[in-house]
Amino acid sequence: MISKKVADSLNKHMNLELYSAHIYLSMSSCANEMGLKGAANWFMVQYREEMVHFMKFYTYLVDQGMNIELLSSKAVPNTYKSLLEMMQRTLTHEELISKCINDLSEQAVQAKDHATQIFLQWFVTEQVEEENNDRDLIAKLKLVGDNGHGILMIDADMAQRVFVQPVGAPLAV
Ligand code: OFO
């Protein structure tokens, strides 16, 4: 049995995951406009991952007998100066998400809600991986600077990213 207070916090965060998906979908279109098809693919995969995160929260709340509330999503930025700026914004956003997940975990501990603590563990691990991937790309982009050839090599790398549906996760798209 989940408390209304914990359920409300999870519902709020579920909406933030949807907002994350919108940010990356917008970045995908922006990268495509810059001629960076690999980066566009990378952000599209990120969008799909965020939709899985959203659906994980949705399914967990519904399985707990809750009626979810979709809050209207605010507009997301759609202009960026460079791929480096997009990745820096991505890292900043993911650090915010990590903090929110940690706060939710703390709330679940305080409420002695073991089911929610276990549910959130997957996200705790996922955030470490997401931040690490973002830092790697930022480091590479800083190394190449404005060198077009270097950026295209990173773009070619980003084209290799493939969406993998996590085992047992609800289908999002
Ligand atoms: Fe990017 O991990 Fe969800 O939001």
pLDDT of residue 168: 87
Angle at 23 between CA 21 and CA 64, to 5 degrees: 30
Torsion region of 35: left, alpha or beta (phi above 0 gives left; psi -120 to 50 gives alpha): left
Per-residue pLDDT tens digits for 88-126: 999 999 999 999 999 999 999 999 999 999 999 999 999
Distance CA(150)–CA(36), nearest Å, equals: 12
Ligand 1 atom with least separation from CA of 53: 3
Under the banding of pLDDT at 50, 70 and 90, the label for residue 173 is: low
Compute, in angstroms, the gap from residue 130 CA to the centroid of ligand 1. Answer: 8
> What domains, with CATH codes, occur in the chain?
4-158 (1.20.1260.10)
| Residue 27: pLDDT over 90 | yes
Task: Using the CB atoms, write b or e for 74-93: b if 16+ within 10 Å.
Answer: eeeeeebeebbebbbebbeb
- Site to probe by mutation for ligand 1, drawn from 16, 50, 131 as the one with most ligand atoms within 8 Å of Cβ, is 50
Per-residue pLDDT tens digits for 40-95: 999 999 999 999 999 999 999 999 999 999 997 789 999 999 999 999 999 999 99
Place of tokens 């917008």: 26
How many CB atoms lie under 10 A from the CB of residue 154?
A: 21
94 is in an annotated binding site: yes
Q: Give the pLDDT mean for 3-29.
A: 98
Ligand 1 atom with least separation from CA of 46: 1
